[in-house]
């Protein structure tokens, strides 16, 4: 069964450092999402891509977060500099026909 691949699964960093997460969606899925999930809460959309274009980044803290999806396939989410409040699970998902498939997530801990 096709999966959404994410790496790394776990990342521990000190505040003010830079971190990056990678996502490879299911082949052929044009829509890709990055969500942030704080412990005990539901996922919150950070950025949504349609092919290589950003269609929604209204909740992305643009002073420190950036996301790109070159060639409309895999995607990278970067945080620089990381802050204590960025500790969360970062989930990538891709969709076709309105059904989202999520990756296993990347757990970030900022010390």
Partner 1 sequence: KQEVTQIPAALSVPEGENLVLNCSFTDSAIYNLQWFRQDPGKGLTSLLLIQSSQREQTSGRLNASLDKSSGRSTLYIAASQPGDSATYLCAVRVATDSWGKLQFGAGTQVVVTP
Q: Which residues bind partner 1 (CB under 8 A)?
A: 4, 6, 33, 40-45, 48, 50, 55-56, 89, 91, 93, 98-105, 107
Shortest distance in whole angstroms from residue 50 CB to partner 1: 7
Minimum distance from CB of 13 to partner 1 (Å)? 18
User: Rounded CA gap, 57 and 1, in Å?
Assistant: 30
Of 28 and 42, CB closest to partner 1: 42
Write phi, then psi, for 43 (nearest 5 degrees).
Answer: -65, 145
Closest CA to 93 of 59, 60, 47: 47
CA separation for the pair 44, 34 (Å, rounded) = 9
Closest alpha carbon to 39 in 101, 107, 94, 104: 107
Nearer to partner 1, 16 or 96 (CB): 96
Residue 2 CB, shortest distance to partner 1, in Å, is: 13
If the CB atoms of residues 26 and 81 are measured against partner 1, the closer one turns out to be: 26
Q: Which is nearer to partner 1, 49 or 65 (CB)?
A: 49
Contact, 37 vs 91, CB < 8 A?
yes
């Amino acid at each position: 069964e096709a999966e959404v691949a994410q790496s790394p699964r776990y990342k521990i960093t000190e505040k003010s450092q830079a971190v990056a997460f990678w996502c490879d969606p299911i082949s052929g899925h044009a829509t890709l999402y990055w969500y942030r999930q704080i412990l005990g809460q539901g996922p919150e959309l950070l950025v949504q891509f349609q092919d290589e274009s950003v269609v929604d980044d209204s909740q992305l803290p643009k002073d420190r977060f950036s996301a790109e999806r070159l060639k409309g396939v895999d995607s990278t989410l970067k945080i620089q500099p990381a802050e204590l409040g960025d500790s969360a699970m970062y989930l990538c998902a891709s969709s076709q026909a309105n059904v989202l498939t999520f990756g296993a997530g990347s757990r970030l801990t900022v010390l």
